[in-house]
């Protein structure tokens, strides 16, 4: 009985000693790794969590009856309102490059769809963007297509 107790104690001590050595080896890393938060942080974070309200198209101020906006829901999904119809779709970013679309839209009949038509056209022609806390500029090789203002959610 004494031998069994002594044998069990030795096994437990050996097991705990091995665990401690494994932990000390695994925690000793000499390589410089990027923190996990940095790896999972989307590059387009400044687009998300704001409703971007349309101010200008092709350098001209717009004054729609209703608030025209685009909302970047997460890292890939977008939705918005064109003044009459709602839309949703996908988008991708790569640094300052952005591709919005394809977009799906409701098809309500409204008196004036000119701003909405221009807005959806601009969204699909956008190739890059610049954003800060206040403004989002949608651009392509011809220059700025639209200026939007942030309404933080």
For residues 98 and 127, the answer to whether their CB atoms sit within 8 Å is: yes
pTM here? 0.70
Question: Which candidate, 128, 143, 125, places its Cα nearest to that of 95?
Answer: 128
Domain spans, the chain: 50-152
Q: Looking at domain 50-152, which of 3.10.620.30, 2.60.40.1930, 2.40.128.270, 3.40.50.300 is its CATH number?
A: 2.40.128.270
pLDDT above 80: residue 79? yes
Q: Give the tens place of pLDDT for each residue, 85-127.
A: 999 999 999 999 999 999 999 999 898 899 999 999 999 999 9
**Cα distance between residue 70 and residue 77, in whole Å:** 11
């Amino acid at each position: 009985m004494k031998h069994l107790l002594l044998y069990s104690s030795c096994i437990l001590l050996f097991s705990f000693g091995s665990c401690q050595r494994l932990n000390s080896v695994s925690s000793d890393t000499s390589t410089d790794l990027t923190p996990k938060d940095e790896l999972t942080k989307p590059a387009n974070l400044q687009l998300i969590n704001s409703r971007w309200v349309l101010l200008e198209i092709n350098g001209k101020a717009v004054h729609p009856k209703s608030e025209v906006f685009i909302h970047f829901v997460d890292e890939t999904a977008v939705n918005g309102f064109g003044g009459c119809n709602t839309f949703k779709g996908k988008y991708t970013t790569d640094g300052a490059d952005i591709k919005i679309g394809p977009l799906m839209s409701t098809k309500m009949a409204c008196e004036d769809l000119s701003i909405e038509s221009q807005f959806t056209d601009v969204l699909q022609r956008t190739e890059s963007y610049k954003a800060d806390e206040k403004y989002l500029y949608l651009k392509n090789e011809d220059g700025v297509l639209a200026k939007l203002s942030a309404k933080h959610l």
